[in-house]
Each structure stands twice: as structure tokens, then as C-alpha cells.
Amino acid sequence: MSKKILKSGIYCIGKLLEFFTCLILFPKLRSYKKLRGARTNRRFLVFYNKENVFKVVKFSDAYGLKLLISLLGNKEFNNYKATLKFLGSLEFLNKHIAELTDVHRAGSYGSRYINGYDLQSLSMKQREPGDSGLLKDTEVILKIKVAVSELLDSLRSYNNKYGFLIGDWHLSNLLYEPKLKRIINVDLEGFYTYNINTKFNLYRIFENDLDWVEEQLKGFCGSIDFREV
């Protein structure tokens, strides 16, 4: 059997798993909208309403399949569930993590909806011809920079105490929440997948290395620096 046929077969099986997962979750998701466009997630199907977000694992993606396989045993699923539930109490970092609402057996989960600004999109908009209206607001820029500084302080405190970071702190996972005036990480499963204490363990693939995180956040602040308008 060729690799191409095998890959196609795995993809089709993954799509079927996604379909049945969504079918099982339909009573929960029927009041949700599916996220589309630039903010779609390559690893999850994302559904949302005004209060909550629900992320369904894309089993047609290699990452999703690996996550599913790693959670087949009760022990590891319980570890996954406990990891996500503990985030609300995670020292130094809990205030920068979206609130968990639900965990599904196949790795999908729900969290509170964050009505904020995606840092990666803000950074990309600033590089495009013509600034966005938001980035012309120097007061907002200052608030975002202060929030980034506070996040870095929290990350350093955690890293200094434990000697490592957990979680995926890529810009695409970080939102600035205006009401809280805080940067929030919405990638909850990243605290399981980017964690040296779990079976999945993508630890040290940049996104949870403090030096790398500092560099990208400082780069982000530079990209939204003041301009004449």
C-alpha cells in the first residue's frame, strides 16, 4: 500500500471521527456558530456563542490523531482532564488563561469566550498597507504593551520557580481582553501537549521556551509601535 493511499485512508477515518464527534456533541453545539475565516484553527473545529467556545479535535490532522491516541487510556485522559481543570489554579499563570467549562472524552473542550484582540492578527495588520483603526489609538497600544509586560512578568516568575514553562505561548493563541486589560491564552490543550509531565509532550518546541516567548512578545510590541497617523 502506497503512502499516499494510507494517508488518504487515515484522513477519511479522521473526517468520520470528526463527524461523529460533532454529532454526539450536537445538543451542546446547536446554539453555537462555527468559526470561519482567518481565525480558523488548523487543529480544531471551533464553535462559539456570546459566552463560550467549544473546540472539537480535527482527527483528520496528524496532531489531532496523536492527541486522540494518547487519550485512549483512562489514566492519560484523566491526566489531560486534570491538567485542564487545574489551569484555574496554576501559579502565576492562571490569570492569563481562559476559563475551562467542559472536557470531552476525545480531547475536545469548552472554555469561556474571550472578546478580545488576537495578537498575531494585530501584528500582521500593522505590516499591511494602512493601519487598522485600533492601532491608531495610542491609548489602546499602551494598554496592550502594559498587558504584554505583565504577562512576561508572570511567565518569568513561573519559569524561575519551576525551571520551565508549560503551554503554547505562540501569538496566535494570545488575546488582549480590554475589560480585564490582560493577555489571555485560549489554547488550553497546549498546557497538556506542551508539558514535560505528559505522554504527549511537545516540550521544547519553541512555543514554551521562555527566551523564544520573550523574543516574539517583544517583537510584537515593536510591530505595533507608534506611528504618525
Q: Which fold has domain 3-223?
A: Transferase(Phosphotransferase); domain 1 (1.10.510)
Contact 87, 191 (CB under 8 A): yes
Look up residue 130 and give its three cell numbers: 494602512
Nearest-5° Cα angle at 146, 143 to 148: 110
Intervals of the chain under pLDDT 70: 1-4, 6-7, 9-10, 37-41, 125-136, 196, 198-208, 225-229
Q: Residue 55 — φ and ψ, nearest 5°? A: -110, 120
Q: What's the pLDDT score for residue 67?
A: 85
Q: What's the pLDDT score for residue 129?
A: 46
| DSSP bridge pairs for 48 | 33, 53
Q: What's the pLDDT score for residue 49?
A: 94
Contacts of 199 (CB under 8 A, 6+ apart): 70, 76, 79
pTM of the model: 0.85
Domain extents in the chain: 3-223
Q: What's the pLDDT score for residue 228?
A: 36
Would you say the C-alpha torsion 47, 117, 51, 65 has a positive or negative sign?
Answer: positive
160: exposed, middle or buried (C-beta count within 10 Å: 0-12, 13-18, 19+)?
Answer: exposed
Q: What is the pLDDT of residues 159-185, one digit of tens each?
A: 999 988 889 899 989 999 999 999 999
